[in-house]
């Protein structure tokens, strides 16, 4: 694990008047670059050559310059890391960046200052650690069944690392579980799927940000929690299956499998009494992170939740960095961000604002690792 000390030393060599903000050209990069430009930073895109023309087409959000990589993992090459540090770059990690390069590689080999707490990568990417974090936070989570024989309600069966919820399926009993596993030629011992209670309700993805600097939002210990907006993911084909009105048996006969591939995001605003509940969930997640991996979560994160008809909120996962759904509020911002800042505050701009505040207060090392 690259130590905090090593990154702090590297950061101390940076020219603070020439900091650039860098990220991998995918996921929420336009949102990040646009926000960085608004806050007057230079921007650097790590990009596969085939993607470059499409980023160039967005003249007001494209990066000022590029590091070209054939594969995302090549950003680990020494010459690419050196290019980033020579340009005083702070890298903003996003979901695709972490997935393509690998949390482990970023922890062990990526000697470039990153926005946030590098320690969070392990807590986000390891299923057991996520569970421990959620448990420590003491927030409601869907019930999990270690033993398929205990399944007594509608459950969703998830496979670890399944991209976009591929191969997830529903079961109501142990019998259905074993039958379905057999049909899919999957060995329960080898694949060790998570069998989770299916929570019926509405999904909310709150865009949270924790800062030790901002003095805006909700005070928590030595920092501040903001909620800048919410979105709901559009998942194909599950969101539209009801339109054809077929039973699961009929779908199976037609070889149609349910899938949860995220294809977009929609704006969503919770009823006002839920805002307090979401702040409470955010607070518990922040406090647990400070216990488990001090100084805890820093910058953007998102508890993935479902709100039931009784207004109980269940969190089934935490994304511990910027989520792609924040892009839907760029550049004009969501109401919540405006109510906190008195100006549009989309997440890309918020990240850049935090880096700017870190530079101005001489506390960059409190928000970078
Ligand atoms: P995940 O890979 O855990 O993010 O799950 C993918 C999708 O499955 C989510 O975005 C939800 O639409 C759905 N989902 C996951 N877990 C649950 C659950 N326990 N109850 C209801 N829906 C769920």
pLDDT tens for the chain, residues 1 to 369: 999 999 999 999 999 999 999 999 999 999 999 999 999 999 999 999 999 999 999 999 999 999 999 999 999 999 999 999 999 999 999 999 999 999 999 999 999 999 999 999 999 999 999 999 999 999 999 999 999 999 999 999 998 866 666 788 999 999 999 999 998 899 988 888 999 999 999 999 999 999 999 999 999 999 999 999 999 999 999 999 999 999 988 998 998 888 899 999 999 999 999 999 999 999 999 999 999 999 999 999 999 999 999 999 999 999 999 999 999 999 999 999 999 999 999 999 999 999 999 999 999 999 999
Look at strands 223-237 and 218-220 and give their pairing.
Answer: antiparallel
Instruction: Spell out the alpha helix ranges (H) of the chain.
Output: 4-12, 29-38, 52-56, 78-86, 95-101, 103-109, 120-125, 127-137, 174-183, 188-191, 248-253, 272-292, 335-341, 347-360
Tokens of 31: 């949102």
Residue-level pLDDT at 43: 98
Nearest Cα residue to atom 5 of ligand 1 = 165
**Residue in this structure with the two tokens 């702090």, named with its chain if needed:** 8
Nearest alpha carbon to residue 19 among 80, 68, 88: 88
Exposed, middle or buried by CB within 10 Å (0-12, 13-18, 19+), for 291? exposed
Say if ligand 1 is within 6 A of residue 306 CB: yes
State in Å: Cα 298 to ligand 1 middle: 25
d(CA 117, CA 320): 10
Residue-level pLDDT at 163: 66
Nearest Cα residue to atom 17 of ligand 1 = 198
Ligand 1: which of 130, 165, 170 to mutate, judged by most atoms within 8 Å of the beta carbon?
165
State in Å: Cα 165 to ligand 1 middle: 8
State in Å: Cα 227 to ligand 1 middle: 22
Say if ligand 1 is within 6 A of residue 260 CB: yes
Q: What is the pTM of this model?
A: 0.96
Nearest Cα residue to atom 12 of ligand 1 = 260
State in Å: Cα 27 to ligand 1 middle: 19
Q: Which residues pair with 262 in a beta bridge?
A: 235
Length of the chain: 369
Say if ligand 1 is within 6 A of residue 317 CB: yes
Say if ligand 1 is within 6 A of residue 258 CB: no
Say if ligand 1 is within 6 A of residue 198 CB: yes
Residue-level pLDDT at 248: 85
Say if ligand 1 is within 6 A of residue 233 CB: yes
Residue-level pLDDT at 166: 73
Residue-level pLDDT at 164: 62
Q: Which residues of 133-153 are buried (b: 16+ CB within 10 A; e: fewer)?
A: bbeebebbbeeebeebeebee
Residue-level pLDDT at 233: 96
Say if ligand 1 is within 6 A of residue 34 CB: no
Say if ligand 1 is within 6 A of residue 156 CB: yes
d(CA 88, CA 11): 8
State in Å: Cα 307 to ligand 1 middle: 12
């Amino acid at each position: 694990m690259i130590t905090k000390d090593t990154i702090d030393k590297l950061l101390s060599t940076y020219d603070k008047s020439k900091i650039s903000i860098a990220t991998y050209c995918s996921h929420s990069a336009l949102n990040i670059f646009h926000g960085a430009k608004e806050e007057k930073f230079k921007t650097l895109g790590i990009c596969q050559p085939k993607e470059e023309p499409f980023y160039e087409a967005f003249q007001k959000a494209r990066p000022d310059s590029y590091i070209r990589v054939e594969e995302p993992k090549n950003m680990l090459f020494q010459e690419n890391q050196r290019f980033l540090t020579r340009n005083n770059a702070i890298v903003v990690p996003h979901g695709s960046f972490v997935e393509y390069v690998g949390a482990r590689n970023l922890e062990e080999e990526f000697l470039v200052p990153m926005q946030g707490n590098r320690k969070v990568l392990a807590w986000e990417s390891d299923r057991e650690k996520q569970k421990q974090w959620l448990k420590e936070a003491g927030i409601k989570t869907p019930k999990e069944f270690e033993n398929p024989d205990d399944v007594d309600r509608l459950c969703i069966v998830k496979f670890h690392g399944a991209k976009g919820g591929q191969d997830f399926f529903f079961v109501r009993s142990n019998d259905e579980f074993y039958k379905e596993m057999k049909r899919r030629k999957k060995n329960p011992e080898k694949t060790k799927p998570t069998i989770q209670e299916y929570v019926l309700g509405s999904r909310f993805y709150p865009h949270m940000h924790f800062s030790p600097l901002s003095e805006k939002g909700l005070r928590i210990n030595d920092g501040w929690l903001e909620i800048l907006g919410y979105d709901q993911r559009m998942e194909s084909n599950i969101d539209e299956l009801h339109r054809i009105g077929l039973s699961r048996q009929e779908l199976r006969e037609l070889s149609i499998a349910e899938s949860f591939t995220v294809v977009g995001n929609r704006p969503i605003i919770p009823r006002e009494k839920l805002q307090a509940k979401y702040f409470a969930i955010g607070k518990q997640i922040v406090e647990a992170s400070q216990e488990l991996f001090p100084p805890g979560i820093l910058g953007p994160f998102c508890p993935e939740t479902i709100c039931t008809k009784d207004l109980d909120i269940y969190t089934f996962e935490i994304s511990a960095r910027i989520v792609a759904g924040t892009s839907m509020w760029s550049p004009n911002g969501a109401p919540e961000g405006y109510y906190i800042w008195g100006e549009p505050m989309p997440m890309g701009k918020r990240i850049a604002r935090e880096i700017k505040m870190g530079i101005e207060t001489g506390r960059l090392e409190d928000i970078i690792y």
